[in-house]
Amino acid sequence: MSDTKTVFAVTESINCPLYDQGDQVTLTMRSCSCGNGKDVCLVLARDLMNILVAMQSNPGRDLLANTEWFSCSGCTGLIKFSEHSITSELPPRTKDSAHQLLRVMEEINGRNIDCPFLEALQKDKIDNILDDFEPIPVATQTVLIKQNRPSLRLYLIMSGRFALERNKEIIAILNAGEIVGEMSCLGAVHPLWSVRALEDATVIDVTGQKYGHLLTSSATVLTYIAKLLAIRLELLNAVKLIDTRATMSGNLEDFSTAELCQVFNLHQKSGVLKLSFSDGDATVSFRDGGIVQAKFKSLVNKDALFAVLSKSDGFYRFIPGLSAEEEKAGEIGEFMLLLMEGVQQDDERAGMHRR
């Protein structure tokens, strides 16, 4: 054993603050070291010392051959590891994983792909964070990330196009080589956008844990992410500015449909409230605060309004201005009576469901 190195590979990582699956730890008679510039965990070092003592105490018994895997003693997390190889030197890597991934992306798309994220990994020689990448198919219209919903993964687009949406309005189109989820996957904020596949696509994902290690170990990647965040925050501010000047928009989790209608009635607004639900879109038109038209799927006016008032999950957008037809149309009913009848019908439906 004095002339050899025993290399262990992490086969499973459960909330470990230091190591990820695929990381390697090298043990000799005199030292213990970790690849990728990572620190040596004292808990793991103690466990490896126990393995070394057991191997010395039983020279005739092949402890490693008879043990499928080992586990550390644990702290805030836990890892499992097994022997990777026993050799005087680690075999050289024939090709970095970022380079391999870029070649795969170009083969899928049939063209050269510009991917600053992979270039940043290569520059800092830490591209092995993608060693075990597996392409994930994404069907057309799949929502990969939902606005205001927790997301703990960073996605790299390998093929296909994705829409970057805010309140169901397309803000930008993302293509192969771009990443999404760069801010929300750290758990700092909920996603500011939704990301929806416009066609069949493929992505690979990076967990929040790996992404966190990546940012702390790579100045190049950190700089790239900072620039990307600046660009997307600038885009968000531009969208908000447009919304402030021309529209009012948001999530129905913040305001109910009934509350919105009361706001427009109280301030005697004229315009169209556009609503997007999972099962369809609706419009409610106001003139000087009174409701002159409502549409939802095949329903119109009162029936449409009552159906809309029962909704609690979706997005809204108020656009000032009416068509010539809406300017001349009479109100579909007295506002407060309409609202009271709609709320009453919703309560009755809720009561029937409870039975």
Render pLDDT for 59-90 as a digit per residue (tens, 0 to 9): 655 666 667 778 888 888 888 888 764 333 33
How confident is the model over 12-18, as a mean pLDDT? 82
Q: Which residue has the tokens 């899928």?
A: 108
Residues 62 and 55: their CA atoms lie apart, in Å, by 8
Q: Which helix (H) or strand (E) holds 343?
A: helix 335-354
Q: What average pLDDT is seen over the chain?
A: 79
Instruction: Identify the pLDDT of residue 185.
Output: 67
Residues 108 and 237: their CA atoms lie apart, in Å, by 35
Residues 269 and 286: their CA atoms lie apart, in Å, by 7
Instruction: Identify the pLDDT of residue 265.
Output: 87
The most confident of the ranges 43-47, 58-62, 160-164 is 160-164
User: Is the domain defined by 97-243 classed in CATH 3.30.930.10?
Assistant: no
How confident is the model over 22-48, as a mean pLDDT? 78
Burial of 45 (0-12, 13-18, 19+ CB in 10 A): middle
Residue 14 three-state SS: strand
In the chain, which ranges are E strands? 5-14, 24-27, 32-34, 70-71, 78-87, 136-138, 143-145, 153-159, 162-166, 169-174, 179-180, 194-197, 201-207, 248-251, 271-277, 280-287, 290-296, 299-300, 315-320
Q: In the structure encoding, which two tokens stand for residue 103, read together?
A: 């070649």
Higher pLDDT residue, 103 or 190?
Answer: 103
Q: In the structure encoding, which two tokens stand for residue 85, read together?
A: 């190889």
Give residue-wise pLDDT tens across range 318-345. 888 888 889 889 999 998 888 888 878 7
Instruction: Identify the pLDDT of residue 254.
Output: 73
How confident is the model over 247-256, as a mean pLDDT? 76
How confident is the model over 154-172, as a mean pLDDT? 86
* pLDDT classification of 295: cutoffs 50, 70, 90: very high
Domain ranges for the chain: 5-87, 97-243, 248-354
Q: List the strands of the sheet with 162-166, edge to edge.
A: 143-145, 194-197, 162-166, 169-174
Given a contact cutoff of 8 angstroms between Cβ atoms, the answer to whether 193 and 242 are in contact is no
